[in-house]
Amino acid sequence: MRVLLAEYAVGTSLEGGLLREGKAMLETLAVSFRKAGCEVVTPRPGRFEQDLERLAADSDYGLVIAPDEHLAYYTSIIEDNTVNLGSSPDSVKLCADKLRTTEILSESGIAVAEDAPSTRYVLKPRWGCGSEGIIVTDDPSILPEGFIRTRLIEGEHISVSLLRSP
């Protein structure tokens, strides 16, 4: 079984923290799929766009890891050419919007960090990934354009991705 793993930061040779995180995610996934007996293919660094469709068409399954603003587009390429192991492009678009996702979770009875009176707040861009642009403040009047505000909840910082079976 051939699996395409397409990690955007690695495939486009991004610099900095996202590249380090991308390499770690890609290596972890590749090791796991290889242990399961899969052949793993990846786009060549600097050739992400050029390789993605071709590799997807030659693979049994595909998974894209990319920043929110690119993920739906690249996921649609995967879905057009092979079996997508990730979320659908529509789900990706929805989840990229932190405000709308928070509203849907709350409406569904799932606890969320609300914009409630607090001593400390987190301001985060409504769109984006990698905790970029996060501001922690004790001033409840600050809310830049394009940001959402929630009370700060102390704890471990994590990122989660879920895979599904086809």
| Count of Cβ atoms closer than 10 Å to residue 107 Cβ | 9
User: Which of these ranges, 13-22, 25-34, 65-74, 82-91, has the smallest mean pLDDT?
Assistant: 13-22
Q: Which domain holds residue 126?
A: 97-151
pLDDT digits (tens, 9 = 90+) for 30-42: 999 999 999 999 9
| Whether residues 57 and 111 fall in one domain | no
pLDDT band at 16 (very low <50, low <70, confident <90, very high): confident
| Whether residues 88 and 103 fall in one domain | no
More confident residue, 6 or 127: 6
pLDDT digits (tens, 9 = 90+) for 99-142: 999 899 999 999 888 777 778 999 999 987 667 789 999 998 99
Q: Quick one: which of 161, 90, 56 has its CA closest to 11?
A: 56
Contact assessment for residue 71 and residue 34, using Cβ atoms and an 8 Å cutoff = no
Q: Are strands 2-7 and 83-84 parallel, antiparallel or unpaired?
A: unpaired
pTM for the whole thing?
0.79
| Whether residues 74 and 103 fall in one domain | no
- For residue 45, tell me if it sits in a domain: yes
Here the tokens at position 6 are: 């397409």
Q: Domain boundary residue among 65, 95, 125?
A: 95
| Whether residues 116 and 37 fall in one domain | no
